[in-house]
Chains A and B, each alone.
Chain A
Amino acid sequence: MADILFIGLSLSSILLLIALGLAITYGAMGVINMAHGELVMIGAYTAVLSGIYLNFNMFVALPLAFFTAAAVGLLIEKLVIRRLYGRIIDTLLATWGVAILLQQAIRLQFGATFFDVTVPGLGPGLQNIDVPSFLNKPFDVAGFTVQPYRTFIIAVTLILAALTWYLFYRTRIGMQVRAIMRNPDMAASCGIDVRRVSALTFAYGSGLAGVAGVLLAGFKTVQPDMGAAVVVDGFLVVVVGGVGSLLGTGLAALLLGQINGIVAVLSNDIVARAVVFGVVIVLIMWRPQGLFSFKNR
């Protein structure tokens, strides 16, 4: 039983990792960023490329990916999202276009393909990164096998979640973000630089996606469309948890990850994912505002 729960916990942590960035860009800013998956992908490629060209290992790649993805996120915010605040469906559509552009940028090696140049680490093919060997050796604790890499992911996720919580609820900028969330006009008239804070918040959410990408790359092959596969799950977690509630996002990730894990053991992976979608549909119909949202009157 404990090992089933651990499988669920491991799935939960990956869901939370993806959802954490979305909880900020979607939950706090009302932007459905379909390119979030591509920011995850960019994080993964940062790890791949820094491994090939700079000989960086995964731990160094983590902060590098954060800043790379954050920079791309900032660019997306300045060029596209900025004009679309308050038009949630349009943000979904426009960022879908951005997602395609980012995928194609990797596939076409930022245009190098047109000149018959091949850049190792880019292009439509599959890539991998090396996980430090001590994270790959399972060890026993009290007669129970621990997968160190999974544990590492859970640990990093928890640290990031705690950090995000601290930023949002214990810092000045976090307070400004929450003020903008509730009422951007009021926040602006209180002297908050709404544009700057929004851009930074979006960049932070994007940076988290980059970190998720590095961790994902440790056990999944890296390819241009890897992000598209995870972004939907991330959204469902945020919506189920309740827009604007970090705790809700965490609990929803836990819930959906466990359901996925348990059903996968009882049946198979496909049915498990189907059940998760079913649960999500019922939950959204029942409580569109999310399981753990604050009440807006």
Chain B
Amino acid sequence: MRLSDSPYVDVFAYGMFIAAILLLPLVMDDPFWLNRIAKYLVFGMLGVAIALSWGYAGILNLGQGLFFGIGAYMVAMSLKLQSYTSLQQGSDKPVPDFMLWNAEPGAPTDLCCIVPGSWIWQPFQAQWFGMVMSVVVPVVISYILATAIFRLRVSGVYVAIITLALVLLARLLLIDAQPLTNGFNGLTDLGWLTVAGIEFDPYLTATYYIIAVSLSVVLVLARLLISTRAGLILQSTRDDPKRSRFLGFDVATYQVFFFTVSAAIAGFAGMLYVIAAEFASPSFMDLTFSISMVVWAAVGGRSSLLGACIGAILINTIEASASETELLQESWRAVIGLIFVLVVLYLPRGLAGIGQETVDWIGRKAGISGRSRSGRVTNPSAAE
């Protein structure tokens, strides 16, 4: 029995991580950096989403940016309508500034009909609507997509290619719908999240806490989810879908469920990102971004939720520190490329793997053994 298999080690590791991100504002009082770290915590949440679908379900989604992007745009639409750039367009109702630039001469300055299709923005005047849609739309789309893919028993690399093509498709549609979405420029000059009359300036410590607490909750819930029986059955479908079917499980149902949960987390992350970064852009749906998420998860450890989360935060924090000069930034990109090749070749379990081996080494040195899932005392020589 290896010590790293013990549930207590996980409880300890998750506890330490959550304590660290919650206590960070006590030692870091630079609001600029705190805001940056908040964004990287959001990327950490994306790491969790990737590890859940890739590590536990064996589904590599190369289009996770689609759900992140949708989540971001949904809340950004609401925050755009709350911004002064929308409120001061000579009408008593908010109208995004870019719509005026695109409107036909003489079109009414009203969301109903300033540009074709602009009525779709109307419900987003309520901030809660945008926030709810940030999760609901990714859930609906991922559910439909996953049902189609997994009912047809598409698997492996083909799922990766389909999701990749889909995010590129969505990106093009988003850019093409320029009068509605401001195309390449994305949604900028957004208002602040306002809850019960309190405005959450992205540089406030309170805004950092919204994100840190959200990440902690998502991390713990996702960890609990995979240790349920359903989580175990999901892992079984990853190992041998045929055997799972012959045991009576409808494999597609499990794949659809976890694919959708992963998309919901990504959508939620998109929403949080907009609250911290004050913009939404089609670059969220760039191929580079979706693959970067996978890179973070792989470096952190693809089959460890916490590892993937820490991988994302670590890589982005180092990248931000390196971005002081352009030369450093370009060199760092090269280093990341190299690290990534090395991780795939020599460290398939990522940083989490190093962590587990260290824990096991301590366990062996100290003669501590974990308690197994079976709860049985096994003959140690046979278990080796």
Contact = CB atoms under 8 A, between A and B. Distances in A.
A233 to B, nearest CB: 10
Contacts of B336: 97, 100
A268 B327 CA distance: 38
A163 to B, nearest CB: 28
A271 interface: yes
A93 B338 contact: no
A271 B173 CA distance: 7
Given A108-B331, A232-B287, A288-B154, A97 B341 contact: yes
Contact of B176 (A84, A98, A270, A280): A270
B337 A100 contact: yes
Among A90, A97, A271, the most chain B Cβ lie within 10 Å of the Cβ of A97
Say what secondary structure dominates the interface of chain B: helix
Nearest to B183: A270
A98 B341 contact: yes
Contact of A83 (B149, B154, B172, B345): B345
Given A94-B341, A104-B330, A285-B148, A273 B160 contact: no
A104 B327 CA distance: 11
A99 interface: yes
Nearest to B177: A270
Interface in A89-124: 89-90, 92-94, 96-101, 103-105, 107-108, 113-114, 124
Contacts of A105: 334
Nearest to A26: B157
B345 A284 contact: no
Contacts, number: 113
A101 B176 contact: no
B291 A108 contact: no
A92 B166 CA distance: 18
B165 A277 contact: yes
Contacts of A280: 165
Say what secondary structure dominates the interface of chain A: helix
Given A281-B166, A285-B152, A273 B158 contact: no
A236 B161 contact: yes
A277 B157 contact: no
Nearest to B161: A239
Q: Range of interface residues on chain A?
A: 35 or more
Contact of A281 (B156, B165, B291, B344): B165
A278 B171 CA distance: 12
Interface string B251-288: 00000000000000000000000000000000000011
Nearest to B333: A104
A107 B169 contact: no
B161 A277 contact: no
Nearest to A79: B341
A18 to B, nearest CB: 15
Interface in B314-361: 327, 330-331, 333-334, 336-341, 344-345, 348
B162 interface: yes
Interface string A255-275: 000000000000010110110
Given A94-B341, A101-B337, A271 B166 contact: no
Contact of A96 (B165, B169, B340): B340
Contacts of A239: 158, 161
24 contacts: A89-B60, A93-B294, A94-B340, A94-B341, A94-B345, A97-B337, A98-B337, A100-B334, A101-B334, A101-B337, A104-B334, A108-B334, A113-B327, A114-B327, A228-B287, A239-B161, A268-B176, A270-B175, A271-B176, A274-B173, A277-B172, A281-B162, A281-B169, A285-B149
Interface of A: 32, 80, 83-84, 88-90, 92-94, 96-101, 103-105, 107-108, 113-114, 124, 228, 232, 235-236, 239, 268, 270-271, 273-274, 277-278, 280-281, 284-286, 288
Given A94-B340, A96-B295, A288-B158, 12 more contacts: A32-B157, A89-B160, A90-B344, A96-B291, A97-B338, A104-B333, A105-B334, A232-B165, A273-B168, A277-B169, A285-B152, A286-B152
Interface of B: 60, 148-149, 152, 154-158, 160-162, 164-166, 168-169, 172-173, 175-176, 287-288, 291, 294-295, 298, 327, 330-331, 333-334, 336-341, 344-345, 348
9 closest Cβ pairs, A-B complex: A100-B337, A97-B340, A104-B334, A277-B169, A97-B341, A101-B337, A94-B344, A274-B172, A270-B176
